[in-house]
Chain A
Amino acid sequence: MRCSRAVSKLVVTVLVLVVVIALVATYYMLMPTPTQTPTAPPTGTTTPQLKKTLVIAIPEEPMGLDVQQVTWSNEVHDLVFQPLVVLGPNMTIVPDLALSWEVSENGTVIIFHLPKGAKFSNGDPLTAEAVKKSIERYKSISPYAEDFADVVEMVVLDTYTLKLILDKPAPYLWAVLVTNYGGPVNAKVAEEVGNDAFNRLPVGSGPYKVSEWVRGSHVVLVRNDNYLTNMPFVNNKGPNPYIDEVIIRFIPEDLTRIAELEAGRVDIVRGVPLDEVKRLRENPNIQLYETLSPGIHYIMVNVRKEPLNDVRVRQAIMIALNRSEIAAVLDNNVLPWYSFLSPSQICYNKSVEDLAESLYLNNLNKAKELLREAGWVDTDGDGVVDKDGVPLKLTLLSPTDDPALKKSAPLIQAQLAKIGIKIEIKEYTYDYVRDLTREWNFELALRRFSWADPDILIYLVHSEYGNYTYSNPEVDELLELGRSVSDMTERTKVYSRAQEILLRDLPLIPLFVLKEYTAVSKNVKGLIVLPPYGTLIINDVRVEQR
């Protein structure tokens, strides 16, 4: 008896010890020593008031760092890669890496001149040959390989001159070239180390290079001393002497991200939640940068389904919506919108938006009139219009993970109730809503798109490229034409015409253009948040010590 108790005591003690030792051992053996603290350590030897580290907090970790292998790019890619050209502040194309470029009259030849002595961050020469290799790699491995489908041949004219030969004019190609997707990657290194390793530690020519990627936590970028740019709107065209290191932290929770900024442990926050904008605006230590989203938030309509196949019903919905009311509910973090291209998109034409507004400005009587014409009247007095005894009930798919759309859904429901349309809201994730619309398994769905080139419309409403229910040969033709017209004025005309038809047919019902915010500590000076994607340009950034 006594003996067995002693044994059990021993066993329990041993077990407890094992747990404790395991705890301590796991800790010291497995935990990486935090050499790189995610917060900015106050350094700065030469200029004591300046912080040498810039800390940026973003919501989501990138899936890979090689811009040619990812399906969505983010701030890390923006700093590691450098496009040949960029969209300047006034939506015109200006140089970044390239010194200059020429486009042949018929639009099928583009010649890029690279600066002499350009280098990748690892010191390899960034020549015409390297750019050619990079584009070839994009065409073979990127999920967006189609982007360069029209580039049929690339000729290296001399060390620093590259000629692209296209089979037809492809103005939409510039929309890719101006993003980080268009930035040359060091394909030679990718070949040596393999695509998987390159995806973890890529080599580009952007202002910073990857030093360390701590999964689930942060990426450490250090200055690329070989960096040079020809962007006209920055003062410092070389490596930024004030910022040695950029730490990009992944903080998924909105409130945590904002708390880190307000506590001064983070300098720049992306993905500012709309609910916080008002409060941040009042914080004297924070500056908010605003950009307009290059695209619209809209209701997608299944034009094949009864009763939405009747254009008058769609028009009634369009005109019954009170967009300024929706904007007010969203704290005016959106612009009420009536047409299909946002001001942050190429070929945006204000007169189309004005026309759309004049046609469809909120007018309940007109909306009811349109419904009546279509045969929908409230015969039984229950507040819902009906036709042949069937009440007008529609389901609206609302994405829970898009706060602006999710919040507007109940308002849309209430506004349409005023003209006797009963809306049932179904909430899913955005991705699932998109899947349902691609399968035509919906009536109304809240959606958004974001891409600077108007060519995006082809993926929405073209009867072949688009995955959707709408088909109009005239629109198809215009959108195809828009792909090949190089002259800006002409191209704008094409897309304006397409929009006018879309305004009549309404396969999408525009709602608003979202304002996107970047919240920045007041200590950060010289930051440029470049529309349309809100790219962070930190060439001239200095961070003062708080």
Chain B
Amino acid sequence: MGLLTYVVKKLLIGVPVIFGVTIILFYIMYMLPGDPIKLLLAGERVTPAKIEELRRAWGLDQPVYIQYFYWLSHVIRGDLGVSIVTKESVTLLISQRLPYTLILMLTSTLLSYAIGVLAGLITALKRGTLIDGVVSVAGVVSYSIPGFWFGLMLMLAFGYYSKLLPISGYEGPQSLVLPAISLALPSSAYVMRLTRAEMVEVLNEDYIRTAWAKGLNKKRVLFVHALRNAMIPVVVMFFLDIPWLIGGAVVIETLFALPGMGRLLYVSIIRQDYAVVQGIVLIITVLTVVFNTLGDIVVAVLDPRVRIERGGSL
């Protein structure tokens, strides 16, 4: 059926995207000043000869495209390479860290959409009232607060003073509560604004006026006719948002000392551990493609018009 072809096409487009990203990233890492071996041998007691020897051993003296093809040929065989710093398999390093980040990402996304959609609906339906004003201002404030600072404040309030939750580290699900909130709050404000705008727009549409005119009850008009259409962009955003949260996770995982992939990415970039950075970015790219496709499918299901238009043009 149309939907299936559409999905397959979407996924196929993802492949060159993934390649493109890895090539660009490989080049950026290569262009970065310094090199991993020099960073590795940070002490003063190192002779330049030792540095050269190690560079050769790791193949870093080869031209960048040779390094890339070498890496690629291994990736195709499912081998992400070996970390220059810890000399361990990148697949292993990432698989140890990925679960924490995935859980954090998904919980915080769900949380931010729950808060955001609810607040958006309230402000849209109570447009122009005091509630609208208060919630909207709260939204602007939470959008403007840096997640880092907000995380520190949460840590102080719930970890340091009240001791309800752990300050940092991973001790179980309770350790993810504060990081998830710090990640969710700023993005929930964005969701709120989107929901509100869409809802307001939809409520001004002709068919809503018709629905009122037909004498349908309020509940039916708002939640069946209006909400369903207003939610389409919000649902799309939901799927597009998830991979982006890894960026936020870098900061929040460092702040809360969580052993996630974001922190691994940060440390690996600092140490210029090429293989690990490449591996993580590959995973982020794949996640992005997958979630984008998922988003498209959901839209196609929710809004048959999209399927026809895009299905045709693709």
- Contacts from A to B (Cβ < 8 Å): 4, 7-8, 11-12, 15, 19, 22-23, 26-27, 30-31, 34, 37-39, 61, 63-64, 69, 71-72, 143-144, 146-147, 196, 199-200, 214-218, 249-253, 255-256, 259-260, 262-263, 265, 429, 431-432, 434-435, 438, 449, 451, 456, 459-460, 465, 467
Contact = CB atoms under 8 A, between A and B. Distances in A.
Contacts of B85: 63
B165 to A, nearest CB: 11
Contacts of A11: 298, 301
A217 B256 CA distance: 10
24 contacts: A11-B298, A11-B301, A15-B294, A15-B298, A26-B103, A27-B103, A38-B171, A39-B169, A63-B85, A69-B87, A143-B40, A144-B46, A146-B47, A215-B93, A216-B263, A217-B259, A218-B169, A249-B169, A250-B257, A256-B256, A263-B159, A431-B34, A431-B39, A467-B48
A143 B110 CA distance: 48
Contacts of A262: 160
B16 interface: no
Contacts of B257: 217, 249-253, 256
A259 B97 CA distance: 24
A364 B126 CA distance: 70
Contacts of B168: 251, 253, 256, 259-260
Contacts of B86: 63-64, 199
Interface in B256-298: 256-260, 263-264, 267, 270, 294, 297-298
Contact of A465 (B47, B106, B294, B301): B47
Contact of B33 (A31, A146, A435): A435
B45 A147 contact: yes
B167 A216 contact: no
Contacts of A196: 87-88
B163 A72 contact: no
Nearest to A69: B87
Contact of A71 (B43, B100, B172, B294): B43
B255 interface: yes
B42 interface: yes
Given A34-B172, A216-B97, A253-B254, 15 more contacts: A8-B302, A12-B298, A15-B294, A27-B99, A30-B102, A31-B103, A63-B40, A72-B43, A143-B41, A144-B46, A196-B88, A199-B86, A249-B169, A256-B255, A456-B45
Contacts of B71: none
Closest 9 CB pairs of A and B: A216-B259, A30-B99, A217-B259, A38-B169, A251-B257, A459-B44, A8-B301, A11-B301, A63-B85
Nearest to A7: B301
A251 B263 CA distance: 11
Contacts of B301: 7-8, 11-12
Contacts of B267: 61, 252
A285 to B, nearest CB: 13
Given A72-B42, A251-B257, A259 B48 contact: no
Interface centre among A63, A146, A438 (most CB of B within 10 A): A63
B106 A71 contact: no
A15 to B, nearest CB: 6
A69 B42 CA distance: 14
A543 B225 CA distance: 65
Contacts of A215: 93, 96-97, 259
Contacts, number: 154
Contacts of B255: 253, 256
Chain B residues touching A, majority SS? helix
Contacts of A22: 106
Nearest to B46: A143
Contacts of B40: 63, 71, 143
Contacts of B298: 11-12, 15
A43 to B, nearest CB: 16
Contacts of B156: 259
A162 to B, nearest CB: 24
Contacts of B97: 215-216
Contact of B155 (A39, A256, A465): A256
Nearest to A199: B87
Contacts of B68: none
B263 A26 contact: no
Contacts of A61: 267
Interface string B13-45: 000000000000000000001100011111111
B44 A449 contact: yes
A218 B171 CA distance: 11
A255 B152 CA distance: 8
B50 interface: yes
B96 to A, nearest CB: 5
A4 B155 CA distance: 48
Interface string B153-178: 00110011001001111111100000
Given A39-B171, A435-B38, A451-B45, A31 B263 contact: no
A39 B304 contact: no
Contacts of A429: 270
A147 B45 CA distance: 9
B107 interface: yes
A218 B258 CA distance: 10
A449 B38 CA distance: 16
Nearest to B105: A23
Nearest to B253: A216
A31 B100 CA distance: 7
